[in-house]
Structure 1
Amino acid sequence: MTIDRFDLPEPIFVSVGGDRVATYELAPEVDVPSSDVVFCHGTPWSAQVWAQAARHLSAGHRVYLWDMPGYGRSAQGSDVRTDLPTQMLRFAMLLDHWRLEGPFVVAHDIGGAVALGAHLMHGRDYDSLFLWDVVSLDPWGSEFFRLVADNSDIFAALPAPLHRALVFEYIAGAAHQRLDADIVAMLTEPWISDEGQPAFYRQIAELSPEHTRAIVDALPRVRCNTSIGWGEQDPWIPVEQAYRLRQLLPSRSTLITLPGVGHLAPLESPSLVQQALYAWLG
C-alpha cells in the first residue's frame, strides 16, 4: 500500500549529472515578495521528513525540496552513486538548475554535510543555513549503521519480511518519542520494494566519515549566517555535537535544543521546528 505523502505535490523529475531526481516546488498562493527556502533531507529519509514544514512555510515563501538520488522517489538503481561528495556536487548543480542565488537552506542529518559541501567545496552561496541534527563531526553513524556498512551484501540478501521488519525498527528507533505507525510506514516504503532493499544497504555502505572530515576542516570558512537545531535525546548523534559544531563555525550560531526529542525533530515536534524556522526566516 502506498502511504499518503502529507501535502507534497507530485514531483518534478529532472536530470542532474545523468541521474533522475525527484524535486518538489511550492509557492505562495498570492504573488508577494518572498524568499527562497530549500530543504535537504538525510538518511534513510526523503523530502517527506520536511513536508509539513515546507507546506507551512510556502504560505509566505517559495519552497524547494528534493529526494537525493538513491532515496525517496529519485533513481535507486545499482548504478546510482550515493556517496557524500557526489551528493554535494548534485546539490550544487540542482541549485543552478533552480537558478537560486543565496537561498535559505534547511538541512537534516547527512543533508547537512551535503549542504555544507555544496557551499564550501563548490562555491554555492546561501543567505543563511539552518542545520538540524546534522552529520559532520566524528563519530557518526549508529552501531547498526557501521555493522551494515561492513556487511552490506549479506544484509541485502535477507528475506523480504526480515528486511521489512529491520528497516521499520531502524527508522522507528531514530525518534525518542514514538512515531505514528503510518509515518514510519511512509518513511519505510521506498526501501521495501525489490529495488529498494539493495538500495537501502548500498547507500549505507557508500557513506563514510572520511568524506565529512574535509568539511569539518573547512567549517571556519563558512560564509553565511548559521543556526543549529538538535533533539536533546537524539539516539544517533548526541546533542554534545551541536555545541562542538557551534564552536567550529566562524560566527556564533544560534543554537536551539528540543527536550524530549530524538533525531527526527521535524516529525517528532513539528510545531516547535516550524516556530524556529519562522523566527529564523523573520
Structure 2
Amino acid sequence: MTVPALPSPTRIDVDGVEIATYRLDPDGQSSASNVVICHGTPWSAAMWVPVARILSDQHRVFLWDMPGYGKSISDDNLAVDLVQQRKRLAAVIDHWQLDRPNVVAHDIGGAVALGAHLLEGCAFASLYLVDIVTLDPWGSPFFRLVTEHEEAFAALPPELHTALIREYIAGAAGRSLDSAWVDELARPWRTPAGQRAFYRQIAQLSPRETRPIVDRLADVRCPTQIGWGDSDPWIPIDQAYELAAAIPAPVDVVRFSATGHLVPVEATDALGMDLLRWLEGASRR
C-alpha cells in the first residue's frame, strides 16, 4: 500500500521553537468549521493524514507536529513535557487565529488538548478524544526503563534502535499493521536526531503532569465525545468509560471493534465518518 502524504509544512516560531504545521482546505467550497488535530506519541501528524483528508472535504483542517516529533524534531535539547506542549498548542491556535475550533486528539495529544482547555484557557467548540493518555495508570515498564537509562538507549546502534522502534509501533495495533505504515511512523525516529528525540520524549513524559488535568475534568466546558479501539493493547477501553463519567454529561463512547490503539490508521473510514457526523452536530449546537 502507499501511505498518503501531508503537504509541505509551514514552519512557525513559538517562543523560539520551530513547529511544523499543516493545513488542508476543502476544494472549491466554503468550510463548515475549523478542526485542529493533535497527535500522540510516538506518532506525528502523518498518522492522521487519511482521516484529515476525509474531514477536509467539508472542513478546514489544521495539524501540527509537536516539538520533538515528526518534522518538528531538532537537535536542540528541547523541553517536550506535557506542560510545555499544552502551552504550545494554545500558542499555535492563537497563531492560526482560530476562535473556538473543534479539536480532535489522540494519545498524549488528549492530555495536551485537555490541558490547553482546562489550564491554559483555550475555548473549543467541541472535543473528540481518541484512546487518550490522561487517567492513571499510564506509562509502561518500558517508559520507566528509558527514564532510568535514557543515555544508554540514545546510544544504541542504529540497527538495534530501528528494530526496537518498529516492534514498539507494530505492538500498538490491535491486529497486524501494514509494513508501509510501520515504515512511515518509524521514519522520523531513524535519524541520529530522531533517535535521541525518541528517548528524550519518553523520559520527559510523566503522570505528574496529567493529574492536575484529571482534577479539573468536571470543568470541561464544551461538547465532548470519546472514541476508543476496543482491543487497545496500551490503554484498556475501561478507561474510556471512566473518562466519560468524569466529564460533564452527556459524553458518548464510540467503540471501534477489532481495533487497537491506532484507530486513525486501523479504522480510518469508520473514524472519519463518525467525526463528520460529530462535527455536523457540533456545528448545530
**Pairwise same-fold verdict (TM > 0.5):** yes
**1:206 corresponds to:** 204
Q: 1:69 to 1:4 in 2, by over 3 A?
A: farther
Structure 1 residue aligned with 2:176? 178
The equivalent residue for 2:186 is 188
CA apart distance, 1:100: 0.5
The equivalent residue for 2:257 is 259
Corresponding letter in the other structure for 1:104: N
User: Secondary structure at 2:12's aligned position in 1?
Assistant: strand
Deviation, 1:32, is: 1.9
Q: Which residue of 2 aligns with 1:248?
A: 246
Deviation, structure 1 residue 213: 0.1
The within-5 A match list for 1:220-259 is: 220-259=218-257
Q: Distance in 1 between matches of 2:82 and 2:14?
A: 15
Cα pair 1:38 1:103 within 8 Å, conserved: yes
CA contact (8 A) 2:118 2:216 kept: yes
Partner of 1:24: 22
Distance in 2 of aligned mates of 1:76 and 1:4: 27
Aligned with 1:14 (options 9, 12, 16): 12
In structure 1, the residue corresponding to 2:132 is in which secondary structure?
coil
Note the 1:265-276 alignment, pairs <5 A: 265-276=263-274
Identity of aligned pairs, percent? 52
How many residue pairs get aligned? The number is 280
| Runs of at least 5 residues in structure 2 that lack an aligned partner in the other structure | 281-285
Contact 2:83 2:209 in 1 (8 A): yes
* Counterpart pick for 2:125 among 127, 130, 135: 127
Q: Distance in 1 between matches of 2:158 and 2:99?
A: 44
Shift of 1:4: 7.0
Q: C-alpha offsets along residues 94-122 of structure 1, whole Å, 9 cap, x if unaligned? A: 00000001111000000000000110111
Q: CA deviation at 1:7?
A: 3.6
Give yes or no for contact 2:135–2:210 (8 Å, CA) kept in 1. Answer: yes
Amino acid at match of 2:260: G
Whether contact under 8 Å (1:4, 1:186) holds in the other structure is no
CA RMSD of aligned residues (A): 1.3
TM-score, normalised by the number of residues in structure 2: 0.96
Kindly report which structure 2 residues correspond to 1:80-99, keeping only aligned pairs within 5 A, or say none.
80-99=78-97
Q: Distance in 2 between matches of 1:244 and 1:238?
A: 11
2:215 corresponds to which residue? Answer: 217
Distance in 2 between residues matched to 1:69 and 1:62, nearest whole Å: 23
Which residue identity lines up with residue 14 of structure 1 in the other structure?
I
Q: Which residue of 2 aligns with 1:110?
A: 108
State the AA in 1 paired with 2:248: P
Aligned equivalent of 1:43:
41
Q: Structure 2 matches for 1:53-72, cutoff 5 A?
A: 53-72=51-70
CA contact (8 A) 1:48 1:187 kept: yes
1:210 counterpart SS class: helix
TM normalised by structure 1 equals: 0.97
| Deviations 1:141-170, CA, capped at 9 Å, x for gaps | 222222222221111111111000001100
CA contact (8 A) 2:100 2:125 kept: yes
Residue type matched to 2:184 in 1? Answer: M
Give yes or no for the alignment of 1:149 onto 2:182: no
Q: Secondary structure at the match of 1:133?
A: strand
Note the alpha carbon deviations across 1:244-276, whole angstroms, 9 max, x for none: 000100122011011211100110111111111
Segments ≥4 residues shifted beyond 2 Å: 75-79
Per-residue CA shift, 1:190-239, capped at 9, x if unaligned? 00111111110000000000000000001000110100000111111111
In structure 1, the gaps of 5 or more residues are none
One-letter code aligned to 1:42: G
Shift of 1:79: 2.3
Instruction: Provide the C-alpha distance between the structure 2 equivalents of 1:163 and 1:79, rounded to a whole number of angstroms.
Output: 20
Residue in structure 1 matched with residue 283 of structure 2 by the alignment: none
